[in-house]
Structure 1
């Protein structure tokens, strides 16, 4: 299948479901965008315009069909001090630079780093996000009119029971419409979308940031841009992987980096903030039937239509309806199976998952949580591989000859185990170190081999290393000091 045909299919193969799913997502984006604008300390229109631009542009340019990108809390928290200390023009300039960095990352194919994120980290990331999504609804569950709770319960009932009647229309859309209609008809006192902040009344305007083009501006915005780009790409690539798993499809992660960058540049040029992929809204989209690029585009375009044309209708939507949708997302996002797997999975895998969850929930920092998870995964993996190293000695005392057979991967974590395998207290005159079943990965490994040879030679042994494969022999040539003569003793293959 050609890439051009695949791209065309991403737009046209699921039109009806994509349009309906996009409408549901657009409704769910409004309170999120307003809330994230408040976090960043900017006007609500900046988050709303950003969500429109990022969603529409990433739909066209991105690499993961059906994933929703918009203004997010993960990027909003980074912007607070920049807006407070330097003002909005510098926010827009930093967002443009953020986008450029992400495009460069895509061109350098940095999307491939997802290969180094383990399943345990992804599960922890998903579970932490599910908890954060639910925690974000708590302000709408505490200190609110008592009738809010039966409305939320009714919304959840519609969401889960309506698909038994028909799946032609996404049940979250039915729940929002039904609760809005009932609240309007009954005159019930409820918090509504209109209580969150003023909606924009005019189209966004294209404009370049009003900042001086000099090194001082770059000095101010570069640290923020680098952080925004890293956080945005991390959350976007992890979300893309989750949507891959949910839909049993694959996506171009490096192209997604480019799509995120282009979306952020477009956002800044119309007065919007930076953003990235949203796991909650992506879950809403997929669970509502959205699979193609059209669903993401409709979400952004219909969001703009809602706030500019249907603003009077949007203002009366009860927050209880949107809270019900987000609670559904939280429940559906959490990997309940992972709780049962805690008893059967290796302890190291469970520790990585729990560490990721605890770090993200405690700090609300997705990047830090994933970083902790990846580091722990690497440490546990290195320890596991190191334990597989074995040095077996075959000694012929009559002939004064010893053969040490090394098996496994020798690197920084296993170098000490490798060294302990040699008996220098009872050396033989002739020692052979057979490494045909081993591989030396780094300079620590070569240093360990170097040290073993040096110790044996100081004890009076004639040492020969045999069986080095090509890669290991090349490392010896470059870094060994006591064993320069072994380069020709390579593995016969």
Structure 2
């Protein structure tokens, strides 16, 4: 729990750098919030309201000072089908429910389980997100669509050139903002006919107000929004916690994962009630904030407030921004998000790690669901890890000089992955009087291993041998005492009945 003095320091311990960094982030948030709204299929004001709300609320109740949260591509891509099939009101309701799920995750302290998501899964997650962002731009580049011409392609190319060349001259102004200014001015002067942000939907001209999503409050509605809400909640927390780790490392500080889960949930729940879509932490903007000097809560609070002031006060100008400028920015985001080193690492990293990464990417791109891809990646990581641990398991045996006693020495981890090797290591046909199973170099983990141990003991006893089990550590002994049945009446019949 953060003390009051520490919380106050997070607000006012770095005032000037936080204010300046927040201003830079606010300028960079405008084009991205609009672009993410368009990805989701909603008016730009939905993403802009969301970015304002989420940035301000996470600044107040989040667990990671200096991290920027707003409307993101990771959550936007999950909403496309919901908006297309059911409309904006269902999106707002799904946002509220996603926030409640995230609050529950934080209260249950599920943030600690982030440590079990492997680096390969994280890399696959990021790469898949980059691919989905790029794919979402393809309709704006399809010459078969109305309003898309070769001029669109030329303007996108010009926008990309500005984005990558301007930083070589100056970093005082974010290059995405320069792209918007230059291409907007060019379209205004020449009068070229290209699609603009205003063509995509209404921009905000007033402050957001509280509203309740206009949907039927029944089980059918819950069944519609729950899959989307759950996916948004999981993906949002994954990206937020990954970003939190990055900011922790950049600032050499530590923050509260569970508090961040609650903070993200409160932000999304509140955002759904003011007409905004769900969001989460932004890796790119958070890095921009930290590199610009932002360290405290004031930086993200400033970013959100300044964003709203700029949009509400300059909405008419935002409406004439050409779509090619936003497409160029989103292509830049996808290129910057993709881990290009992961391609070269395919040749050097362990094959299992590469398979996990590629499977995560393929699943996400196939299903367009980041949560399913991460689930597949985590499951594969677990399977490969279990296989590696099982390979470290072995059993050695020695026969006494008089040939009456056989001792089996078990080494390694005895669990479901090594239970079969354990069972196959014994010679039940050997005529010995005493069998000693020494597990002092092993650990017994689960019911599968206990059952394998039961079966071995009972088979030796059935063959007429006396069985001695020695060397169990305290944890293994507790598990065996609770689950084993080899000393209970009718034990063999019970085992063979399964």
Query: What RMSD in Å do the two structures reach over aligned CA positions?
Result: 2.9
The structural deviation recorded for 1:342 is: 0.7
C-alpha displacement at 1:471, in angstroms? 0.6
Residue 61 (structure 1) aligns with: 61
CA contact (8 A) 1:99 1:260 kept: yes
The residue aligned with 1:461 is: 465
User: 1:91, 1:160 → 2: CA distance?
Assistant: 35
Tell me the equivalent position of 2:207: 203
2:231 alignment partner in structure 1: 231
Deviation at 1:483, TM superposition (A): 4.6
* 1:153 partnered with 2:157: yes
Contact 1:44 1:199 in 2 (8 A): yes
Q: Indicate if the aligned counterparts of 1:25 and 1:285 stay in contact, CA closer than 8 A.
A: no
TM-score (norm 1): 0.87
1 CA distance for matches of 2:190 and 2:100?
51
Gaps of 5+ in 1: 485-493
**Counterpart in the other structure of 2:79:** 76
1:119 CA drift (Å): 0.7
**2:243–2:281 Cα contact (<8 Å) kept:** no
Q: How does 1:32-43 map to 2 (within 5 A)?
A: 32-38=36-42
- Listed as ranges, the matches of 1:238-317 within 5 Å are 238-244=238-244, 246-247=246-247, 248-249=249-250, 250-277=254-281, 293-317=297-321
Q: CA deviation at 1:263?
A: 1.3
Select between 324-333 and 219-228 the one with higher mean Cα deviation.
Answer: 219-228
Taking the aligned partners of 2:273 and 2:237, their CA distance within structure 1 comes to 24
Q: 1:161/1:95 Cα in 2 relative to 1: closer, same or farther (>3 Å)? A: closer
Question: What SS does the aligned partner of 2:150 have?
Answer: coil
Matched residue SS, 1:271: coil
Runs of 5+ in structure 2 lacking a partner? 489-498
CA distance in structure 1 between the partners assigned to 2:293 and 2:152 by the alignment: 28
Instruction: Report how many aligned residue pairs link the two structures.
Output: 474
2:422 touches 2:452 (CA, 8 Å); kept in 1?
yes
- Per the alignment, do residues 322 and 294 of structure 1 end up closer, same or farther by CA in structure 2, a change over 3 Å counting? farther
Paired position in structure 1 for 2:426: 422
1:433 is matched with which residue? 437
Q: Say if 1:7 and 1:236 are closer, same or farther in 2 by CA, change over 3 A.
A: farther
* Deviation string, structure 1 residues 309-337 (Cα, Å, up to 9, x no partner): 21111011122222222221111111111
Structure 1 residues 61 and 97: CA distance shift in structure 2, 3 A: same
Which residue of 2 is the match for residue 384 of structure 1? 388
C-alpha separation in 2, matches of 1:350 and 1:309: 49
Distance 1:123 1:211, change over 3 A: closer
C-alpha displacement at 1:258, in angstroms? Answer: 1.0
TM-score, structure 2 length as denominator? 0.86
Q: How has the CA–CA distance of structure 1 residues 156 and 208 changed in structure 2, closer, same or farther, with 3 Å as cutoff?
A: closer
- Over 3 Å counting, the alpha-carbon distance change for 1:47 and 1:4 in structure 2 is closer
1:132 and 2:132 equivalent? yes
Q: Deviations over 1:225-262 (max 9, x none)?
A: 64344323322232234424544245432122211211
Say whether residues 1:448 and 2:452 are aligned partners: yes
C-alpha distance in structure 1 between counterparts of 2:293 and 2:188, whole Å: 28
Name whichever of 224-233 and 450-459 sits farther off.
224-233
CA distance in 1, matches of 2:433, 2:9: 68
Give the alignment partner of residue 7 of structure 1, picking from 5, 10, 15. 10
Following superposition, the deviation at residue 81 of structure 1 comes to 8.2
SS in 1 for 2:259: helix
Alpha-carbon contact 2:240-2:280 (below 8 Å) kept: no
